[in-house]
Amino acid sequence: MYRDSAFHLGRALLLALFVLTSGTRADRVVLSPSGYNLPPGSLKLEVARRERNGELTQYWLNLGIVGGIELEVVRQERAASRVDSVGIQYNLLPDIGFTPAVSIGIRDVSDRTNEGFAVYTALGHRLPYMPPNPFIEEMYLFGGVGAGGIRGPFVGTEIRTPYRLWLSAEYDSRAWNFALSWEPVPLLRLRLYSLDGKTFYGASLAVSF
């Protein structure tokens, strides 16, 4: 009986976690800003790893804070070095259907990465209507402009299919990047990336408290 009770309690907690994490969005398309912020009290961890062309693992930790603020901590690890950086994004306007989400932000505040300190304005918009089709359930469009580490305009798109697959593509002001994500459960995405022509694999986990 005790085991059955523990099993049902665990299943209920897991279901509650699924509900809390559904719909959570972060502030990147692949690498470029999307204009969306995580909701307050939400946390997202993402990891991308490359083993060829020089070993590299990248970590992103995003935290949604009250007042439309999102904090991002990034780590880049190589065999002989490690670089940490911090960014912040502020949401000026949410996506309410007929207007896009608009955010401003700073990346690499202390100017530690190869890309360097950057400031930007980013926009994101969910298309309000998609004709019924077997391939696309939702589609988002993104754009913006930056200075410093983000060199001018950037654009992107994200498509959600009926098969728990997300397709993301962007030009991040430096290179074309792509990601294919499979969402086996609402809080977890398994991801395959092409970043500046190099292949990475990884995953992301989102939680709301």
Establish how many alpha carbons lie within 13 A of residue 130's alpha carbon, considering only the half-sphere containing its beta carbon. 16
What's residue 9's pLDDT? 40
What's residue 201's pLDDT? 98
Positions in the chain short of pLDDT 70: 1-26
DSSP letter at 186 equals: T
- Going from the N-terminus, what domains does the chain have, and what CATH number goes with each? 24-208 (2.40.160.40)
Q: Are strands 118-126 and 152-160 parallel, antiparallel or unpaired?
A: unpaired
Q: Torsion angle, CA of 81/75/193/161, rounded to 10 degrees? A: 170
Those residues with Cβ within 8 angstroms of residue 6's Cβ, 6 or more apart along the chain or in another chain: none
pTM of the model: 0.83
What's residue 77's pLDDT? 96
What's residue 8's pLDDT? 43
What's residue 26's pLDDT? 58
The per-residue pLDDT for range 175-208, each reduced to its tens digit, is 999 999 999 998 899 999 999 999 999 999 999 8
What's residue 97's pLDDT? 80
What's residue 198's pLDDT? 95
